[in-house]
A and B are shown apart, each in its own frame.
Chain A
Amino acid sequence: MHPVTTTHYLALSAALLIIGTVGVLTRRNIVIILMSIELILNAVNINLVAFSHALQNMSGQIFALFVIADAVAEAAVGLGILIALFRNKETVLADEVDLLKW
């Protein structure tokens, strides 16, 4: 078995990023779209920590912490918007929210 290198982590991170992107682009349920965004942010964090480990520099882990803080803010605001939307439109499907469409 080959030893695990930085490239392994980068490949895993890329795969996770693509899975998250597919979730954002194809799902209709807004809750699951928000979960896919969490997957994308986690892919970024794996990348940052892998380079932090390889370069022996703590800045990558600090940035991962900031990304986690952003993810918390994003989830709180996103779910607040979802609740407001559900109260007004009685739907959680992204393509039924078409008030601004012609």
Chain B
Amino acid sequence: MLNTVLFYAFAALVLGGAILTITRRNAVHSAISLIVSLLGVAGLYLLQQAEFLFAVQIVLYIGGIMVLFLFVIMLVNLDQAARERQFNRQWPVGLAAAGLAGAQLGWFLIKGRDSFRIAETGMPGASAGEGNTELIADVLFREYLLPFEIVSVLLLVAVVGSVVMAKRRI
């Protein structure tokens, strides 16, 4: 019961924030709406017993990426852009295409609703006293060690790449 109420509250937060994000004229308002939406997603993680992802979402997304966004909004001059047309000329086509994709997704969800009814119980090991973070660490460092190392290389490349892009003269 409480789960249901919380789910709908967080879902409203997520969708409301998302709609405000893509409709606001001022980019700072968009960023703040996006923070609300990401907080809703973090709440949904908590509802599904993904506590580690909840913490990562707050620290990394809201603390890291959004601060990066706000920095760039301050760095580039958006006043000119805020005064101009906000949607491009092809927006009816884009909206129609997205609506079509949404109709397809909805159709699949309605058709396949019964196949998603899988046993809904707690996470494995939760009864054995093993926390979510320990479970993630077990799987991450045993089965997914190589992808984990590759991600570290990817992040290094991204750091070097963004410095090369943003620097005037290397």
Residues of A within 8 A of B (CB): 1-12, 14-23, 25-29, 31-32, 34-36, 38-39, 42, 45-46, 49-50, 52-59, 61-62, 64-66, 68-77, 79-84, 86-87, 91-95
Contact = CB atoms under 8 A, between A and B. Distances in A.
Contacts, number: 248
A62 B162 contact: no
Given A50-B48, A79-B72, A27 B86 contact: yes
Nearest to B114: A7
Contacts of B41: 42, 45-46
A73 B86 CA distance: 27
Given A3-B3, A29-B27, A75-B68, A38 B88 contact: no
**A interface: dominant SS:** helix
B136 A58 contact: yes
Interface residues on B, range: 35 or more
A3 B4 contact: yes
Given A8-B7, A38-B65, A92-B78, A32 B162 contact: no
B69 A25 contact: no
A75 B57 contact: no
Contact of B15 (A16, A21, A73, A83): A16
Nearest to B151: A69
B50 A52 contact: yes
Contact of A26 (B19, B50, B94, B132): B94
Given A18-B101, A35-B30, A82 B95 contact: no
Interface string B94-131: 11011101100110010001001111111110000000
A6 B118 CA distance: 8
Interface string B133-170: 00110111001100100010011011101111110100
